[in-house]
Structure 1
Amino acid sequence: MTTHPRLSIGLPVYNGEEYLAEALDALLGQTYEDFELVISDNASTDGTQDICRKYEAQDPRVRYIRLTRNIGAAPNHNYVFTQCKGELFKWASHDDLYARDLLRRCVDALDEHPEVVLAHADQAVIDGDGRITVPYAYTLNTASPSAPERFRSMLFEAGGDDFYGVMRADVLRRVKPHDSYHHADRTFVAEIALHGPFHQVPELLYFRRDHPTRAERANPSKRSRCVNLDPRRAGLLHPTPRLLAEYVLGFVSAIQRAPLSAADRRACHRHLAAWMTSRARPGGAGERVEDRAPVDPALLTVDLDEIVAGRESRRGEQE
């Protein structure tokens, strides 16, 4: 009988040679080890393939898949999930960093709370050199037992990278795959939240890297970001108004598909209407976590070199 790891990590990547090895070291150095790491390379043209082949040869938990053409970030995210077999699943980014205990703490939370469908940890933004620039509190009320309250919170409150949490794979299979319109990741995670509460581990364990070549920075317009998500969005059939309309309709369809009572469904629609009204007002677009004022390094109590696997050797090479 073939046994599968309990957790699958899906890592979609395109031209990620600059930070990929750091992310792989951080993931493979986790204190929780019962996982597979499936890398789906979106036909990279840089040194990504060589890096992936090297790690695949070194660690049996790594499986590398190379696509013959660039299908776009969103289809690649969906594809790598279909190639994973674990009962739990996590997407990973090629340029982020992960403290050694991240996976263990998230899996433990899911085991301790069977009603929870996704677990993640406190987080911070780091720069290209791996220095913390903006730690931020998780203020979303996704732990609420009320589906409408979880939905309201995800509409109105900033922050949170729940997309990269550890999820129950059976729940993920019940939601619509990740789309490629404007902010499709927000509607995607909101639909997951309608299936059950999230758990936030109160410890700084996840570090999202913000750098000039990150997809959001390299594609500053809504149109270019959507084309990066899926090249089929290029052309006259997908103007910006359509991409925005699909964003709103994504929330509507998520409410309709979710296993909600009639009363909860009406409450979610009321929250959505209030959110749309707030967005229409001047200044109603909300804030980006990355644009907050950087923190004073002297106030930080977390040292990435101590809690992220592989950092100690890299720092030693730089000194």
Structure 2
Amino acid sequence: MYKFQPKLSIGLPVYNGEKFLQESLDSLLNQTFTDFELIISDNASTDNTEEICRNYAAQDQRIYYYRHDTNIGCAHNFNRVLELSKSEYFKWAAYDDLHAPDFISKCMQVLEINPDYILCHSHTSFIDEQGTPLQDYNINLNTNSAKLQVRFNELLTKHLCYQMYGIIRKSALKKIPPMGGYGNADGILLLRLGMVGQFYEIPEYLFFARSHPQQSLSMFFPNYLSFTNNNSRYSLDKLPNFYDYSVWFDSSNKGKILFPHWRILKEYLLSISQSSLNLNEQLLCYFNLGKKLSGNESLLIKDLWMAAKILLSQKLATTKAAKAQVSSHYSGIN
């Protein structure tokens, strides 16, 4: 019996994506490159996402639809579509973004010709809820450098991780840990991929990132995209709330005492110490990391302060409950 073995797997994790999902699916299914499977993992959506996905899967045999009974968090859902893939190349896709019809074919051509590149993406443009162009994304990283420590330094820069949605060699993804359940987990994953090999960015605007109030960027990067007299601009000056961001990546973090900035620092350090860098290269990476942290020490202190406040609050609540129980007991006696 013939078993479909695609060249590319596209993984689309989704939660309550009914508003933009059909347009995003059409954008992928209408690609000029057709040798792919599309794996959809529905994170227990409560809107019409399931119905939309099942209708599409019934019409196209390349689509595989899976649904979780409960929301397992962003990171686990992203990892799930990767686990289910069975191809040489892999691509994550978002339920709200769009792609030019030749996005995949042009990325695949680059990777097939250049074995040194492990990831290929394109220039990115922002679009609004109606798909109207807003502005080009102009953060260009030198991730095609042959020097590993240069790529490391570039990926420490504040950026929106759009390379995550490029075409990636599966062999490269197997060399790094899966996406973690903490804030900036997508940035750490990209950083580690950059330490495996080079990225290439096609100098054409073939990827269209949608800006809307329900997206994670709007929730965790407040006001990163704003409008003035019909002119759009974006800013990465404000850091996200990494406490809420950690819960979004992993729902099991809810209610726990977290040290999100310490966790990110730990993952940066592990990325260096567990890499194939020689001592000189490692020292350069530690130096670059130190420069990035300079002036942000208050974030580490903030983690400790937040943990202390939560512990104190819990202790006061326990004491209050105990006193109420004692009071109730004596009231019953009287």
Fold conserved (TM > 0.5)? yes
Contact 2:18 2:48 in 1 (8 A): yes
Give distance in 2, aligned partners of 1:160 and 1:11: 16
Report the equivalent of 2:52: 51
Report the equivalent of 1:223: 243
After superposition, give the CA deviation of every residue in 1:173-232 in whole Å (9 maximum; x if it has no partner): 111111122212111100000001100011100011110011232456332222121111
Contact 1:184 1:250 in 2 (8 A): no
Contact 1:141 1:153 in 2 (8 A): yes
After superposition, give the CA deviation of every residue in 1:70-120 in whole Å (9 maximum; x if it has no partner): 101111001110000011000000000111011011111101110111000
Answer 1 or 2: higher relative contact order, Cα 8 Å, separation at least 6. Answer: 1
Contact 1:139 1:159 in 2 (8 A): no
More divergent stretch after superposition (166-175 vs 214-223): 214-223
Contact 1:30 1:101 in 2 (8 A): yes
Report the equivalent of 1:271: 288
Unmatched tracts of structure 2, length 5 or more = 223-240, 300-334
Give distance in 2, aligned partners of 1:281 and 1:196: 33
Superposition pairs of residues 134-173 of structure 1, within 5 angstroms: 134-156=135-157, 158=159, 161-173=162-174
TM-score for both structures, normalised by structure 1: 0.84
Question: Is the alpha carbon distance of 1:266 and 1:181 closer, same or farther for their aligned partners in structure 2, counting shifts above 3 Å?
Answer: same
Q: Deviation at 1:254? A: 1.2
User: Greater Rg, structure 1 or structure 2?
Assistant: 2
| 1:136 maps to amino acid | Y
Question: Is the alpha carbon distance of 1:48 and 1:223 closer, same or farther for their aligned partners in structure 2, counting shifts above 3 Å?
Answer: same
After superposition, give the CA deviation of every residue in 1:107-138 in whole Å (9 maximum; x if it has no partner): 11101110111000000111111111120234
Question: Is the alpha carbon distance of 1:232 and 1:170 closer, same or farther for their aligned partners in structure 2, counting shifts above 3 Å?
Answer: same
Give distance in 1, aligned partners of 2:256 and 2:169: 38
Q: Deviation at 1:151? A: 0.7
Contact 2:161 2:186 in 1 (8 A): no
Give distance in 2, aligned partners of 1:27 and 1:264: 40
Partner SS, residue 269 of structure 2: helix
Report the equivalent of 1:69: 70
Report the equivalent of 1:298: none
Contact 1:139 1:157 in 2 (8 A): no
After superposition, give the CA deviation of every residue in 1:221-266 in whole Å (9 maximum; x if it has no partner): 332222121111111322xxx1111111111111122222222222
Question: Is the alpha carbon distance of 1:21 and 1:3 closer, same or farther for their aligned partners in structure 2, counting shifts above 3 Å?
Answer: closer
Superposition pairs of residues 106-125 of structure 1, within 5 angstroms: 106-125=107-126
Contact 2:175 2:196 in 1 (8 A): no
Report the equivalent of 1:87: 88
Does residue 255 of structure 1 match 2:269?
A: no
More divergent stretch after superposition (136-145 vs 116-125): 136-145
Report the equivalent of 1:246: 263
More divergent stretch after superposition (265-274 vs 217-226): 217-226
More divergent stretch after superposition (254-263 vs 135-144): 254-263
TM-score for both structures, normalised by structure 2: 0.80
Question: Is the alpha carbon distance of 1:263 and 1:176 closer, same or farther for their aligned partners in structure 2, counting shifts above 3 Å?
Answer: same
Report the equivalent of 1:37: 38
Contact 2:161 2:187 in 1 (8 A): no
Partner SS, residue 55 of structure 1: helix
After superposition, give the CA deviation of every residue in 1:13-41 in whole Å (9 maximum; x if it has no partner): 00100000000000000011110000000
Unmatched tracts of structure 1, length 5 or more = 283-319
Contact 2:9 2:85 in 1 (8 A): yes
Contact 1:13 1:39 in 2 (8 A): yes
| 1:247 maps to amino acid | I
